[in-house]
Amino acid sequence: MKFNTTELKYYGFHACLAIWKKRPQDIVRIYLDPALLKRCKPLLKWCAQTKRAYHIVEPLELEKISESVHHEGICLLAKKPPMASSLSTKNGCLIYLDGVQNPHNLGAIVRSAAHFGTLGIIGEKKILPALSPSSCRIAQGGAEEISLLPLSSPISWLKENRYALIATSSHKGEELYNFRFPPRAALVLGSETEGVSKQLLSQADHLIRIPGTGSIESLNVSVATALCLSEYYRQHRS
């Protein structure tokens, strides 16, 4: 499969259908398992109408093309979307990622962010990772709903736009279910190994922790994200 640096091989059923629905103009080529012909009939009809190339290939060949055993029967060659240059600054919840790099965790965070209507994800320009095809598959279509905005100075940006910085901690802070989220909230989540950096913890307006038995150190960062976003959504959904 030939592609250039502005294109990516996306895979995963819901991730690929979301690309088709949100930015069909970016699709270059489609590869499909014969088992998905019936489910993807509208997509193939669109390919015929728009003269997009598509190929029906067996699972093992699709594994080679997508470079993944988790292709779920479909692979798209599509243009990369541009990184966000801005985000909405209305009342709502933002995610601030501080060192999260694992593509599976990132994808799961994006999926939860889309489910709970998060405004977007921010992070330091040199640290915030781009969404990989693996992350997009895990996000199950959420990657087409949530923008990632790399910033030179995230804290300054948050202060300018009047967002409260709410850092998560394994041991300190108010219990999540006793905490009242302000309407403009930036939820800070740290890496699996280090957690939120000491610098960000010292700059946070609030510290929160997720209560539990204490038998393990902490929750997976994507699970912690989902619980916090769920509570914000519960408090502010009206």
Burial 117-131 (b: 16+ CB within 10 A, else e): ebbbbbbbeeebbeb
More confident residue, 237 or 226: 226
pLDDT band, very low/low/confident/very high, at 3 (cuts 50, 70, 90): very low
pTM: 0.93
**Does 116 have pLDDT greater than 60?**
yes
Q: Are residues 104 and 201 in the same domain?
A: yes
Of 79, 102, 125, the domain-final residue: 79
**84 assigned to some structural domain:** no
CATH of residue 231: 3.40.1280.10
What is the rounded average pLDDT of the residues 99-111? 96
Compute how many other C-beta atoms are within 10 angstroms of the C-beta atom of residue 203.
Answer: 14
**85 assigned to some structural domain:** no
**Does 118 have pLDDT greater than 90?**
yes
Q: What pLDDT does residue 214 have? A: 84
Q: Are residues 74 and 178 in the same domain?
A: no
**231 assigned to some structural domain:** yes
CB 176 within 8 A of CB 50: no
Q: Give the pairing of strands 74-79 and 7-11.
A: antiparallel
What is the rounded average pLDDT of the residues 172-187? 96
User: Which residue range(s) make up the domain with 41?
Assistant: 7-79
CA 229 to chain CA mean position, Å? 13
**Does 66 have pLDDT greater than 50?**
yes
The mean of the pLDDT values for the chain is 94
Quick: pLDDT tens for 136-148.
999 999 999 999 9
Please give the tally of structural domains in the chain.
2
Q: Are residues 72 and 118 in the same domain?
A: no
Q: Are residues 99 and 64 in the same domain?
A: no
Quick: pLDDT tens for 183-227.
999 999 998 888 899 999 999 999 999 999 888 888 999 999 999
**87 assigned to some structural domain:** no
Q: What pLDDT does residue 2 have? A: 46
Q: Of the candidates 221, 204, 127, which has an alpha carbon nearest to the alpha carbon of residue 170? A: 221
Q: Are residues 47 and 102 in the same domain?
A: no
Cα separation of 150 and 184, whole Å?
19
